A and B are shown apart, each in its own frame.
Chain A
């Protein structure tokens, strides 16, 4: 099991490297090598490390452990085919982690990033509607049951594509350089990550790798169904490249516009869910 966890972290970092590469190529830049994020994690782990004097030392270090811990737990939840409700509870905990990263250092940039992570909680609302709709369709929130349902009825991607789009947008909101990436936008330097350097940043990179892997793997399991592991990796890569296209051609929205658009998406999802509730016997 632990070997899968290490693989997930490394493959997730590789996907993030591919994300940067695809964005760069679309913008006619050479871009970094695909393994750049792995190199980044290694590079940070060799850098001088200390705790800033303005930081709350316990929270500053502890939040790195919590970040890796929650996404390790999320990985096992998805890998074992357990409840997506647990997965999305962990997803919500990540909001607390972002907030903790931002507030623990004492840096104004980090604080702004932490505050924006609260604002961007709007991106989680489409997720709630998606979960409700999945339950409405499949009668269960256990991932094993959802994949079994798709084995009989076909992928949810084709049965209810709006919900796949909603989850796609939820993952998009967590991708770096995306239209909803207000928590780490450049006017805040690196947002909530700004003051976590050296080993702490390497730990954050492991968190990011695991998070990317888990969210994409969950997307495949929920909307495509049970596929061989290698096929899941291929589909995850395709989904990631499509996310990169969106990130490459879309400017980062202002916090207000970001919340407004996510609110509108939630409204549309609610209407569609209401329609399904009406027509499903």
Chain B
């Protein structure tokens, strides 16, 4: 996948978490709903963030070809 895809993924997961966090703070959504969103979005945020800042620029190593 390309850096652009990871950027979108990171942005969407971050926005979802921030919106859920703000909505919980403003008592617009119940705790269980916010927690459900965090549990789904947080792993995506972690992976998209790390994939985004190491997205390939054409200089990656030769892939391991398997066993």
**Footprint of B on A, CB under 8 Å?**
1-2, 5, 45-50, 52-54, 61, 64-69, 72-73, 76, 80, 106-108, 198-199, 202-203, 206
| Interface of B: prevailing SS | helix
A108 to B67, CA, bound (A): 9
A55 to B31, CA, bound (A): 38
Q: A1-B21, A47-B54, A199-B54 are in contact. Are A69 and B64 (CB under 8 A)?
A: no
Q: Which of B42-56 contact A (CB under 8 A)?
A: 42-44, 46-47, 49-51, 53-54, 56
A203 to B47, CA, bound (A): 7
**Footprint of A on B, CB under 8 Å?**
17, 20-21, 24, 31, 34-35, 38-40, 42-44, 46-47, 49-51, 53-54, 56, 60-61, 63-67
Q: Would you call A72 and B51 a contact (CB within 8 A)? A: no
Q: How far is the CB of A199 from chain B (nearest CB, A)?
A: 4
Q: Would you call B21 and A73 a contact (CB within 8 A)? A: no
Nearest-CB residue, chain A, relative to B17: A2
| Interface of A: prevailing SS | helix
- Complex contacts, B65 vs chain A, CB 8 Å: 53
Given contact pairs A61-B47, A203-B47, a sample of 4 additional A-B residue pairs in the complex whose CB atoms are under 8 Å apart: A53-B64, A69-B42, A69-B43, A106-B67
In the complex, number of A-B residue pairs with CB atoms less than 8 Å apart: 80
Q: How far is the CB of B67 from chain A (nearest CB, A)?
A: 6
Q: Would you call B21 and A69 a contact (CB within 8 A)? A: no
- Complex contacts, B20 vs chain A, CB 8 Å: 2
Q: How far is the CB of B6 from chain A (nearest CB, A)?
A: 10
Chosen A-B contacts, 9 in total, with CB atoms closer than 8 Å, are A2-B38, A45-B49, A46-B54, A47-B54, A48-B56, A66-B43, A68-B43, A68-B47, A202-B50
Q: How far is the CB of B39 from chain A (nearest CB, A)?
A: 5
Q: Would you call A50 and B39 a contact (CB within 8 A)? A: no
Contact of B43 among A52, A72, A76, A108 (CB under 8 A): A72
Q: Would you call B43 and A45 a contact (CB within 8 A)? A: no
Nearest-CB residue, chain A, relative to B42: A72
A197 to B37, CA, bound (A): 27
A108 to B43, CA, bound (A): 27
